[in-house]
């Protein structure tokens, strides 16, 4: 325990900067002026209009996701993570601001994006067998049968499920069901893979396996991954970058570079000095966010 509270040997590297936005001077995530990012979120705001009045879930979010990066979004519960993901995936229109993919505004679910949801049991078609679930998006795209069969077999192989193509999803364990959902996303060959707390509902041991699976697939496919989680350890272990969200109405609290070695290992990485420093830092930030710390206030105070 003492090591976790010792001073970090290396400072954590924050990539966020303070910018003028329509919602005042607030921290924003790393953006890439000049070069074309793969996915770009600009001044995104989402307000829900309800009978009981308006609820501002997301106030202002700005960050870019470059091609091939694995970034984790972490925030306290109720920090609008799912809202953000729905806006990025085009399932929901933002109130203000925009999401662009390759410079094109996202107005509906884009072709080159796949989403893995937390509720695997509700995201797989229970009336289709495992292979049919993976195959359906390809069938919908009009891919011919022999090509489809090959891609499905490859995807199932990649997630270690080649032995159960004929089973129904509900006959499998939770972890295996989520693997099917991942295989379906992999077979779709997206450029951006969005994952909404995909491992929140599986047990700890399965989760570790699935984390390594995601790292493996990410490296193999060179796909950009945006991984939403509330698990601090998971965000640091998985990501090249951790974007910390404030409590609702959400803005970016900090955009952190994860300078851990590229080869991650459940035992070694997690017991390394740097891992606990980063973990410590993210943990502190989340605790701050939970206590109602507002980054915009901090910015205002610094200027005063």
Shortest CB 74 distance to other proteins, Å:
22
Which CB atom, from 168 or from 293, has the smaller least distance to other proteins? Answer: 168
Q: Is 36 in the site for other proteins (CB under 8 A)?
A: no
Shortest CB 137 distance to other proteins, Å:
4
Q: Is 49 in the site for other proteins (CB under 8 A)?
A: no
Stretch of 62-70, 97-105, 118-126, 295-303 contacting other proteins, by CB under 8 A: 118-126
Task: Give, as ranges, the residues between 55 and 114 that touch other proteins (CB under 8 A).
Answer: 86, 89-91, 108-109, 111, 113-114
Q: Work out which of 11, 49, 122, 163 binds other proteins, going by CB under 8 A.
A: 122
Task: Single out the residue of 156, 158, 154, 155 nearest to residue 167, CA to CA.
Answer: 156
Q: Are 226 and 193 contacting, i.e. CB atoms less than 8 angstroms apart?
A: yes
Taking the CB of residue 282, how many other CB atoms lie within 10 A of it?
23
Stretch of 119-127, 152-160, 215-223, 243-251 contacting other proteins, by CB under 8 A: 119-127
Residues in the chain: 304
**The token pair that represents 214 in the structure block:** 């995601």
* Three-state secondary structure readout of the chain: CHHHHCCCCCCCEECCEEEEECCEEEEECCCCCCCCCCEEEEEEEEEEEECCEEEEEEEEEEEEECCCCEEEEECCCCCCHHHHHHHHCCCCCCCEEEEEECCEECCCCCCCEEEECCCHHHHCCCCCCHHHHHHHHHHHHCCCHHHHHHHHHHHHHHCCCCCCCCCCHHHCCHHHHHHHHHHHHHHCCCCEEEEECCCCCCCHHHHHHHHHHHHHHHHHHCCEEEEEECCHHHHHHHCCEEEEECCCCEEEEEEEECCCCCCCCCCHHHHCHHHHHHHHHHHHHHHHHHCCCCHHHHHHHHHC
Q: Work out which of 47, 66, 67, 136 binds other proteins, going by CB under 8 A.
A: 136
Q: Work out which of 18, 137, 189, 294 binds other proteins, going by CB under 8 A.
A: 137
Site string for other proteins, 138-177 (x = CB under 8 A): -xxx--------------------------x-xx------
Shortest CB 216 distance to other proteins, Å:
23
**By rule CB under 8 A, what count of residues binds other proteins?**
27
Shortest CB 129 distance to other proteins, Å:
9
Q: Is 127 in the site for other proteins (CB under 8 A)?
A: yes
Task: Give, as ranges, the residues between 171 and 230 that touch other proteins (CB under 8 A).
Answer: 171, 188
Which CB atom, from 68 or from 137, has the smaller least distance to other proteins? Answer: 137
Q: Is 119 in the site for other proteins (CB under 8 A)?
A: yes
Pairing of strands 192-196, 17-21: unpaired
Which CB atom, from 96 or from 132, has the smaller least distance to other proteins? Answer: 132
Shortest CB 181 distance to other proteins, Å:
8
User: Interface with other proteins by CB under 8 A: which residues?
Assistant: 86, 89-91, 108-109, 111, 113-115, 117, 119, 122-123, 125-128, 136-137, 139-141, 168, 170-171, 188
């Amino acid at each position: 325990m003492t090591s976790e509270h010792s001073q970090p040997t290396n400072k954590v590297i924050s990539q966020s900067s303070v910018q003028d936005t329509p919602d005042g001077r607030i921290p924003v995530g790393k953006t890439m002026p000049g070069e074309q990012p793969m996915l770009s979120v600009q001044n995104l705001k989402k307000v829900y209009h309800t009978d009981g009045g308006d609820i501002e879930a997301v106030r202002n979010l700005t960050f870019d996701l470059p091609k091939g990066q694995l970034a984790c979004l972490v925030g306290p519960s109720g920090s609008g993570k799912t809202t953000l993901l729905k806006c990025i995936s085009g399932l929901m229109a933002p109130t203000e601001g925009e999401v662009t993919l390759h410079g094109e505004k996202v107005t509906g679910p884009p072709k080159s994006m796949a989403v893995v949801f937390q509720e695997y049991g509700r995201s797989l078609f229970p009336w289709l067998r495992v292979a049919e679930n993976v195959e359906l998006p390809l069938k919908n795209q009009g891919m011919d049968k022999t090509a489809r069969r090959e891609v499905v077999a490859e995807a199932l192989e990649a997630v270690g499920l080649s032995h159960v193509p004929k089973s129904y999803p509900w006959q499998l364990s939770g972890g295996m069901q989520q693997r099917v959902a991942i295989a379906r996303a992999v077979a779709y060959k997206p450029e951006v893979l969005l994952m909404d707390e995909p491992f929140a509902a599986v047990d700890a041991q399965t989760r570790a396996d699935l984390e390594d699976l995601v790292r493996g697939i990410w490296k193999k496919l060179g796909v950009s991954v945006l991984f939403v989680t509330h698990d601090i350890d998971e965000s640091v272990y998985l990501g090249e970058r951790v974007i910390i969200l404030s409590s609702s109405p959400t803005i970016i609290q900090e955009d952190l570079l994860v300078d851990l070695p590229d080869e991650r290992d459940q035992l070694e990485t997690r017991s390394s000095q740097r891992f606990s420093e980063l973990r410590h830092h993210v943990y502190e930030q989340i605790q701050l966010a939970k206590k109602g710390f507002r980054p915009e206030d901090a910015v205002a105070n610094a200027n005063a």
